[in-house]
Structures are given as structure tokens and as C-alpha cells.
């Protein structure tokens, strides 16, 4: 190899080196480390780690009821978000897509909740849902239904749904923005031509808008599932997983294992299982998304 060639190669590698070093240190190494730790019993401090084979995975899958409860809870919130949150986002996007007065103002307003901190949102909603002096209870009394008052976040019958409402309120803005972008990408001429041919608005929506929007719907649903399954900050700010295990979600369980019980190995195994679950869901959705792209 000639000196100029060597110098060129060296220059190239040195340019790439910072990015590679950062990737290895902050992404690759932690990723591999999680897999390594998942087969050990380790408290996070001690230099001694006990190799336990797949015991951590076995415990998580077959003995840890609270883990499955947390998956179920996250699943419930996800289903609610997929339906109600995205329905609301779509309706608002359809409204704002039309030529209405102040549409830019609405676009900003609808996009505000997602950019707020989850902790702040949680604290505000804590006040709304408060059992003694909450806004919602005051409103119910005003409506003449004092018997409906309750501590919404502390009652096992309503805690999970209350948390879901907070999450959906905070999250619908993302879907709104993406769906609005999708709607605006549909050529206006298609709708106009259909109208000239006498098609109703419902017909245009079901036969033109929905098919062309299918890839966008799938994108929004993938983001909703991934975002909702990883819900965490709102839970911490409102219920901390309680009452009992009624609002526990996977991330709070992983944190409880890691920081509450100092079981780093077990927490890593939960993280891997959770990662695999999200990966499987994403793969199914990607398949469906590809299919929808072809269809649309």
C-alpha cells in the first residue's frame, strides 16, 4: 500500500471513528451487556455475579404474576389508545384539513399536549382526578350527580382507565400531525372529480381517503403501540403503579426489579422479554403495513 493510499484510508477511518466509538460505547456495549446480565443474579454493585442460566426468564414467564399484570395493563391502555386516541386524532385531522377559520391555531393547540412533560401532565391531571377536591368531582356535583364522585386514580375500578385518558390526551397530538400530513398528501383532484361524478362525502372518505391513508394508519398505529406499551412517566406522576398492581406497566416493573429490589439481572431479563414482545408486534405491523401499501 502506498503512503498516499494509506493516508487516505487513515483519514477516512479517523473521520468515521468518533461515530463508531460513540455507537459502540453507548449503544452496542449496553445492548450486549443487557444480554450478559440477564443470566446472572447481580445487585448492581457487588463484584460477584452469580450465573443462574435462564432462571430469571423462567421466573418472569412462569412465576411473576405482577409482570403479566403489567403487560395486561399496558395492553388495555394500548387498545384504548389505538381506538379512541387515534379516532380522535383522525376526526380532528379531518376537520383541520378543511378550509376552516383559524385552522393554524388549532394545529398548534392540538400539538401542544405531546410536547408537555409527562410528569407535568400527570400532576395536572392528578388535580383534576383528585378524590376530595378534584375538578372532575366538582363538575359531577354541578351536573347533579354527587353519587358518581370518587378518587378516580385510587379506585381500582377506574384507576387504569383514568391513567389511559391522561395518556390519550397527551398522545393524540402525534397521531393528529401525522394523519394531517397524510391527508394533505392526497391529491385534491381525486375528491373533486368524485364530487363532480356525484359521490357523497362518506363515499369519498371510504373509497378514496381511507385506502390512500392505509399506510399512514399503520404508521400511526405502530407508533401508538410502541409508545403506549412503554408508558411510564404518567404512571409515576399519578399512581406509581397502584392501587395494588392495578396500574403497573412493564417499565415500572423493570424499574422495581432494578432499583426497588436491586435485581439487575432479573430487570435485564424483563427488559429483553419486553423488547422481544415489542419487536414481534412491530414485525406483524410492518407486514400489514407493506400489504396495505400494495393495496393502496
Per CB under 8 A, the segment of 48-56, 91-99, 182-190, 201-209 that binds another protein is 48-56
3-state secondary structure of 163: helix
What grid cell was written down for 120?
A: 407535568
Which of 224, 239, 285, 289 contacts another protein by CB under 8 A?
239
32 binds another protein (CB under 8 A): no
Per CB under 8 A, the segment of 88-96, 147-155, 183-191, 215-223 that binds another protein is 147-155
286 binds another protein (CB under 8 A): no
Beta-carbon contacts of 89 under 8 Å, excluding residues fewer than 6 positions away, are 172, 173, 174, 175, 176, 179, 220
Burial-class residue 228 by CB neighbours within 10 Å (0-12, 13-18, 19+). buried
Name the residue nearer to another protein (CB basis): 21 or 112. 21
102 binds another protein (CB under 8 A): no
104 binds another protein (CB under 8 A): no
Among the residues of 186-263, which ranges form H helices? 188-196, 201-204, 210-229, 233-238, 250-255
Which of 133, 143, 147, 202 contacts another protein by CB under 8 A?
133
Backbone angles phi, psi at 50, to 5 degrees: -100, 125
Residue 217: how many other CB atoms lie within 10 Å: 20
Per CB under 8 A, the segment of 170-178, 186-194, 216-224, 255-263 that binds another protein is 255-263
244 binds another protein (CB under 8 A): yes
256 binds another protein (CB under 8 A): yes
How far from 227 is each of 22, 173, 202, 232, CA to CA, in Å?
26, 13, 31, 10
Per CB under 8 A, the segment of 77-85, 204-212, 234-242, 285-293 that binds another protein is 234-242
227 binds another protein (CB under 8 A): no
Beta bridge partners of 50: 41
43 binds another protein (CB under 8 A): yes
Which of 37, 90, 159, 231 contacts another protein by CB under 8 A?
159
Q: Which residues contact another protein (rule: CB under 8 A)? A: 7, 11, 14-15, 17-18, 21, 41, 43-47, 50, 52, 55, 59, 63, 126, 130-133, 151, 153-156, 159, 238-240, 242-245, 256, 259-263
Amino acid at each position: 500500500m502506498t503512503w498516499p493510499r494509506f493516508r487516505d484510508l487513515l483519514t477516512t477511518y479517523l473521520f468515521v471513528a468518533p461515530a463508531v466509538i460513540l455507537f459502540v460505547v453507548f449503544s452496542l456495549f449496553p445492548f450486549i451487556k443487557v444480554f450478559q446480565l440477564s443470566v446472572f443474579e447481580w445487585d448492581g454493585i457487588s463484584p460477584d455475579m452469580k450465573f443462574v442460566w435462564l432462571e430469571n426468564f423462567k421466573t418472569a414467564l412462569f412465576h411473576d404474576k405482577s409482570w403479566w399484570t403489567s403487560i395486561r395493563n399496558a395492553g388495555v391502555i394500548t387498545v384504548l389508545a389505538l381506538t379512541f386516541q387515534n379516532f380522535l386524532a383522525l376526526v380532528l385531522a379531518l376537520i383541520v384539513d378543511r378550509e376552516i377559520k383559524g385552522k393554524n391555531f388549532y394545529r398548534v393547540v392540538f400539538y401542544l399536549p405531546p410536547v408537555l412533560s409527562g410528569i407535568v401532565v400527570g400532576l395536572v391531571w392528578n388535580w383534576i382526578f383528585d378524590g376530595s377536591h378534584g375538578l372532575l368531582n366538582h363538575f359531577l356535583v354541578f351536573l347533579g350527580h354527587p353519587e358518581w364522585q370518587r378518587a378516580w386514580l385510587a379506585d381500582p375500578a377506574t384507576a387504569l382507565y383514568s391513567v389511559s385518558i391522561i395518556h390519550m390526551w397527551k398522545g393524540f397530538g402525534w397521531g393528529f400531525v401525522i394523519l394531517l400530513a397524510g391527508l394533505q398528501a392526497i391529491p385534491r383532484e381525486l375528491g373533486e372529480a368524485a364530487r363532480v361524478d356525484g359521490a357523497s362525502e362518506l363515499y369519498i372518505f371510504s373509497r378514496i381517503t381511507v385506502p390512500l391513508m392505509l399506510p399512514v394508519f399503520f404508521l400511526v398505529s405502530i407508533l401508538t403501540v410502541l409508545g403506549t406499551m412503554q408508558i411510564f412517566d404518567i404512571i409515576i406522576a399519578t399512581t406509581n403503579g397502584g392501587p395494588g398492581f392495578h396500574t403497573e406497566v412493564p417499565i415500572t416493573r423493570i424499574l422495581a426489579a432494578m432499583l426497588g429490589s436491586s435485581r439487575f439481572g432479573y430487570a435485564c431479563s424483563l427488559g429483553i422479554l419486553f423488547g422481544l414482545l415489542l419487536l414481534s408486534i412491530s414485525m406483524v405491523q410492518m407486514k400489514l403495513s407493506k400489504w396495505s401499501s400494495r393495496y393502496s
